[in-house]
Structure 1
Amino acid sequence: MKPEPKKLKELDDKTTNYKVKVKVIHKASPQQSPNKKRFQRLILKDEEGYTMKATLFEKDIERYEEALKRNGEYEISNAAIAPTPAQHASHPSEYQMTINSRARISPLITDFSILEPQYRSIAAIPRAMSEGDDLIDVLGVLLYVDDMKIINQANIREIHITDPSYDRSLMVSVWNDLARNDSELIKTWSPSNVVIGFTALRSTTIKGFSMASTMSSEIIKHPQGTKAETLRTWYVILSV
């Protein structure tokens, strides 16, 4: 029997023999639980805008590394569905997906360029975002990097950028590993390394309009492409 097409809102722990079309809007780095079990979190969104959390464990993280990419669109069939534990649920009666060898995943896109960072100008970034919104990739000229701070036992560092669409600096708050490792390296850059990219950011209202890293975020230290070259040229002209 062929899998029956479903929407995310229709899936629960009694659903079997189904398939659903989704976009991966969030893909976190692998983590380790207190009991030493490795896991990786994803958030999926369907064409109606409904979202569902998904998790991979242990060897399945590597198994599906290339098969599931942020911004990729896929048909997923017969992955296990279970109630979300109350401490992790966003609302009552929430369900989550576990992706393992039982699941079947087929890509729905042929233009794989959408899996590359989709940089927006600062002026085009929405000032308010809901939980199901796509995360934002931003490219900018690096202005300066603040010293690292510790807030609620988490490391945070603020990086300031700008671009031709914005007449002031944009603060990007990065957390934990991004604040400790990547940002420390950025502070040592020479003046020639002026363009920097960020992926999977969320807009916030902290200290006015700003951006903050998420579990999916990466810092692109040497971004390539037309937009990056245009920014480098703009900076050179501005500096003359």
Structure 2
Amino acid sequence: MKPEYKPLKELNDRTLKYKTKVKVIHKSTPQQSSNKPRYQRLLFKDDEGFTMKGALFDSDIEKYAEALECNVEYELLNAMIAAIPPQHASKPNEYSIIINAQEQISLLTIDATALGPQYQALATIPCDPFNTELMDILGVVISVAAPKAIYKSQGIEDSVREIYLTDHSYDHPFTISLWNDVLRTHEEALNSWADSFNVIGVLAVTGRSYKGFTLSSTTSTTIITNLKGEKADALRAWYVH
């Protein structure tokens, strides 16, 4: 008999006993906030296509460094589910799966063809700010804008900085907006990227309406720098010539 898995759309902070099957579709770089524990963000997806955020904290980050891999399916049993505070949520009534040392996690399958970033050519990106699909981008940094502070209601401040990428499929710069924690994590590197025509990978970005259509970082975004390999070398050579 096949196990009865509960879909992510039915899980909330009142759910106590359950079993669900999910794939880790993104895993961010561990980050440190002031006066807060170190954390790492996850994004899970189930067979019905629904997604839910997740998180690891402190020593659990190392514990699950290899035990939770992107594009691998896992069975989760009774993992803690917490409500995301409204100021940090991207939609109403949003929840997060908190993974800690007590969780029961079982490896199910590995999709060997899906391992690693799935880079899209810039010309294939749908220019739809309502498209919430996460995308991986590979491109040459040709310009970096100055950082900006965006002030919202109740004194909340967002930080944003735009980078402009190009690739062989696109005839003008494509804008990617880096927000808040993602921006702060890579702030020191940003000033030097354009000087060397650095090829970077930007993983888990999504469409957003900000001064027109842009791709924007999400809580799962990771930036890969100093890329090597056939695709990166070919893109670098194309741009230089």
Query: Under TM normalisation by the shorter chain, which class is it?
Result: 0.7 to 0.9
Name the structure 1 match of 2:187.
180
- The alignment yields a C-alpha RMSD, in angstroms, of 3.1
Q: CA deviation at 1:76?
A: 1.7
CA contact (8 A) 1:73 1:109 kept: yes
Alpha-carbon deviation of 1:210?
Answer: 2.0
How far off its partner does 1:194 sit?
A: 4.5
Name stretches of at least 5 consecutive residues in structure 2 with no aligned partner: 152-156
The corresponding residue for 2:149 is 150
In structure 2, distance between residues paired with 1:172 and 1:126: 14
- Work out whether residues 132 and 207 of structure 2, in 8 Å CA contact, stay in contact via their aligned partners in 1: no
Residues of 2 paired with 1:155 and 1:115: CA distance? 32
Partner of 2:139: 140
Q: Is structure 2 residue 199 aligned with structure 1 residue 200?
A: no
- Once the two structures are superposed, the pairs formed by residues 100-115 of structure 1 within 5 Å of their partners are 100-112=100-112, 114-115=114-115
For residue 54 of structure 1, report the CA deviation from its aligned partner.
2.4
Q: How far did residue 183 of structure 1 move? A: 0.6
Q: Once superposed, which parts of structure 1, at least 4 consecutive aligned residues long, lie more than 6 Å away?
A: none
| Structure 2 counterpart of 1:41, one-letter code | R
The residue that corresponds to 2:69 in the other structure is: 69
Secondary structure in 1 matching 2:123: helix
Moved more, 157-166 or 80-89: 80-89
Aligned to 2:92: 91
Letter of the 2:108 counterpart:
L
- The reply to whether residue 212 of structure 1 matches residue 219 of structure 2 is no
Aligned position for 2:154: none
Question: Under a length normalisation based on structure 2, what TM-score does the superposition of the two structures give?
Answer: 0.77
Cα displacement (A) at 1:83: 5.0
- Cα offset, 1:163, TM superposition: 1.5
Contact in 2 for aligned 1:148/1:180 (Cα 8 Å): no
Q: Tell me the number of residue pairs that the alignment of Structure 1 and Structure 2 aligns.
A: 230
1:171 aligns with 2:175: yes
Gap regions ≥5 residues in structure 1: none
Q: CA deviation at 1:84?
A: 5.0
The sequence identity of aligned pairs, in percent, is 47
**More deviation in 66-75 or 27-36?**
27-36
Structure 1 residue 170 displacement after superposition: 0.4
Residue 54, structure 1, aligned to residue 48, structure 2: no
Q: Quote how far apart the aligned CAs of 1:126 are.
A: 2.6
Worse-matched range after superposition: 76-85 or 139-148: 76-85
Alpha-carbon contact 2:201-2:223 (below 8 Å) kept: yes
User: Quick one: structure 1 residues 111 and 97, their matched pair in 2 at CA, closer, same or farther if it must change by over 3 Å?
Assistant: closer
Distance 1:49 1:131, change over 3 A: farther
The 10-residue stretch of structure 1 (98-107 or 117-126) with the greater mean CA deviation from structure 2: 98-107
Counterpart in the other structure of 1:231: 235
Question: What is the alpha-carbon distance in structure 2 between the residues aligned to residue 86 and residue 174 of structure 1?
Answer: 21
Distance 1:5 1:98 in 2: 18
CA contact (8 A) 1:78 1:102 kept: no
Structure 2: how far apart are the matches of 1:208 and 1:230? Answer: 30
TM-score, with structure 1 as normaliser = 0.78
Q: Partner of 2:212: helix, strand, or coil? A: coil
Q: Distance in 1 between matches of 2:167 and 2:57?
A: 40
